[in-house]
Structure 1
Amino acid sequence: MAETRVQVEGRTLTISNLDKVLYPRTGFTKGEVLDYYARIAPVLLPHLADRAVTRIRWPHGVADGSFFEKNVPRGVPSWVRTAEVPTTGSRTAERADGTLVFPVVDDLATLTWLANLAALELHVHQWTVTRAGRVRGADRIVVDLDPGEPAGLHECAQVALLARDALAERGLATRPVLSGSKGLHLYAALPRRRDPDAATALAKEVAETLAAQHPRLVTATMTKARRSGKVFFDWSQNSGSKTTVSPYSLRGREVPTVAAPLTWDEVAAGAEDPLALEQLRPDEVLERVADLGDLFAVV
């Protein structure tokens, strides 16, 4: 195993296997994963700040198995900030005292440490934690627009515009993000923190309203058999136990893609033209940030 010791913001890390291919179809290596996360860190880290991070790791690359990891793994460096929180749903990897100990990724050294573990995807809750580890309420809501074949990004863009207007009627400004997978995510900052159950109820109410108004395009039902040709307006990710992939995170797909913030003009174009929107790759996202800055900064 080839190892390299590096200094990152005053921390010493041992990085291994930089030439290991993690995305076989494109030859995208672990070194390129680390490079992407180092370069995107200035816009990614503010959106991970104070949030417990669940990781999806692909130790042998995306063509092999992956696993979710909530608790910090063995050997976590002493300088990594952690948050011990009570479980709110899944008992996966729960400690005997009924808590989970998550990493909080608020610096480049921690981000690099996770990337070196092949934690390609970084998922976060919509609630935050204080420095003392106290769980606070949700400060935003998220909606996952998940298309059922043959629907795709074109239909997701149409639903996103409807959702933007519905949330605006409720006093919420929305920002769109390509999921890096099949669909779109929508985020709206809450004017005051809410219990995750209340945030979930708000998102569900919008979902059911749009499904009633546009039954051929939108479904609020989780049953996959009812999603064909429609966009599932997934309101459930606001639950206290659920997480959503962070904006600017890589995705563990066949080719490397990124959860990438968009402008509403781009979404409108995608609603008009079925070919106008596609998921973005790391180099494209880095170029966009250089040209446009952080489109997610207002959330």
Structure 2
Amino acid sequence: MMLSNLDKVFWPQQGYTKADLIEYYVKIAPYLLPHLKDYPLVLVRYPDGIAGKFFYQKEAPPSRPDWLPTVEVASEGNRKSIRYCLVEDAADLLFLINLGCIEIHPWLSKQTALNNPTCMVFDLDPHASQSFQTVVEVALLLKSALDTLGLTAYPKTSGASGMHIYVPVGKGYDYQTVRECAIAIAKFIEATDPRVTLARPIGERGERLYLDCWQIGRGKTLASVYSLRPVPSASVSTPLLWPEVTAALQPSAYTIQTIFDRLNRMGDLFQPVFERKNDLSGVLRLSAKS
């Protein structure tokens, strides 16, 4: 496989090049690959770096090599099918990154069970006027609610201004069921904290933090754990321990340069997402009453 345009600058402020992008994903692959395996992927491509135009790509590129795994998925209404890329090993990942793919967005469900998400997710997206302290406080309120319901959750920085909370779920729950459970929990947070909104139209949110649980849907995606983000610091979506979610938390500290020291010290903090599966029966009872 030929790598191209390695000297092209992708992060102008830091001077990081496409070669740095590729080197990062080669080094992070042992941690990242288990979180991508069997999930259809949406690529976010920045052919000219973060200062240039970008686009989301669902369809696998026609020029892909024969060895790159893909999966054909019928779109809504079965009007058309989309062939998504998959990643099984480092070579597959490297091919996609060489396309200028800074971010990787996996589905929430695997190719073997496309209608059944493996996690309930909450995306905490603050308004520009809100500090990260607000994100921390809302995340801890959400954790308290999840604890009360007997649900174990795992936080990660979004790599930008927010945070993602993952709640692994057992087999057999479909997207609608998991989404309804998430909405029931999110409505409680919205009612408890006036800084939070579930309003989807941007014009209706005001200066409130958007607690997004609408990404729980077939074909919808979030940036993967360990995905780089197209921000000046080249930050990484990084898993956290709950005791780290404090006023001292600085998501900008986790970057293309610093993440590996953390991994060497702490390992993959998202590993339990594979192993701990939550039962949603208690939340379903709550959802039925709301």
Q: Scaled by the length of structure 1, what TM-score is found?
A: 0.87
Larger deviation: 57-66 or 17-26? 17-26
Aligned AA for 2:264?
A
Q: In the alignment, is the contact (CA less than 8 A) between 2:114 and 2:218 conserved in 1? A: no
Contact 2:121 2:215 in 1 (8 A): yes
Q: Deviations over 1:149-190 (max 9, x none)?
A: 321321111111111121233332111110011100000100
Match among 84, 92, 101 for residue 119 of structure 1 = 101
Contact 1:153/1:184, CA 8 A, preserved across alignment:
no
Where does 1:89-168 land on structure 2 (aligned, <5 Å)?
98-130=80-112, 135-168=114-147
**Residue among 285, 289, 296 paired with 2:259:** 285
| Deviation at residue 61 of structure 1 after TM alignment | 1.1
Runs of 5+ unmatched residues, structure 2:
274-290
Contact 1:154-1:277 at 8 Å conserved across structures? no
The aligned amino acid for 1:77 is P
Q: Is 1:77 matched up with 2:50?
A: no
Change (3 A) 1:88 1:141: farther
1:32 aligned residue: 20
Partner deviation per Cα, 1:121-146 (whole Å, 9 max, x = no partner) = 1001111112xxx6251111111000
Amino acid at match of 1:142: V
SS at match of 1:192: coil
Tell me which residue corresponds to 2:234: 256
Structure 2 Cα separation of the partners of residues 174 and 88 of structure 1: 30
SS at match of 1:186: strand
Equivalent residue, structure 2, for 1:6: none
Shift of 1:53: 0.5
* 1: CA distance, partners of 2:131 / 2:21: 27
Task: Decide whether the 8 Å contact of 1:86 with 1:98 is kept in 2.
Answer: yes
CA drift of 1:193 comes to 3.4
How far residue 277 of structure 1 moved from its aligned partner, in angstroms, is: 2.0
C-alpha distance after superposition, 1:79-113 (max 9, x if no partner): 11111111138xxxxxx961110011121001100
- The letter of the residue matching 1:113 is F
1:191 matched residue in structure 2: 170
Which amino acid in 2 is paired with 1:223? P
Which one of 247, 262, 268 corresponds to residue 225 of structure 2?
247
User: Which residue number corresponds to residue 271 of structure 2?
Assistant: 297
- Count of paired positions: 272
Q: What does residue 202 of structure 1 align with?
A: 181
Q: 2: CA distance between counterparts of 1:236 and 1:87?
A: 18
Secondary structure of the structure 2 residue equivalent to 1:245: coil
Q: Is the 8 A contact 1:88 1:241 kept in 2?
A: no
> Larger strand proportion, structure 1 or 2?
1
Q: How does 1:9-48 map to 2 (within 5 A)?
A: 13-48=1-36
Shift of 1:265: 1.1
Aligned-partner Cα distance in 2 for 1:97–1:77: 27
Using the alignment, how far apart are the partners of 1:26 and 1:32 within structure 2?
A: 11
Residue 192 of structure 1, CA deviation: 2.9
Percent of pairs identical after alignment? Answer: 34
What residue is the counterpart of 1:266 in the other structure? 244
- In structure 2, give the amino acid aligned to 1:41: A
How far the C-alpha of 1:224 sits from its partner, in A, is: 2.5
- 2:110–2:117 contact (8 Å) kept in structure 1: yes
Give the TM-score normalised by the residue count of structure 2. 0.89
What amino acid maps onto 1:277 in structure 2?
Answer: Q
- CA RMSD, 1 decimal: 1.7
Which residue number in structure 1 is paired with residue 201 of structure 2? 223
**Which residue identity is paired with 1:247?**
V
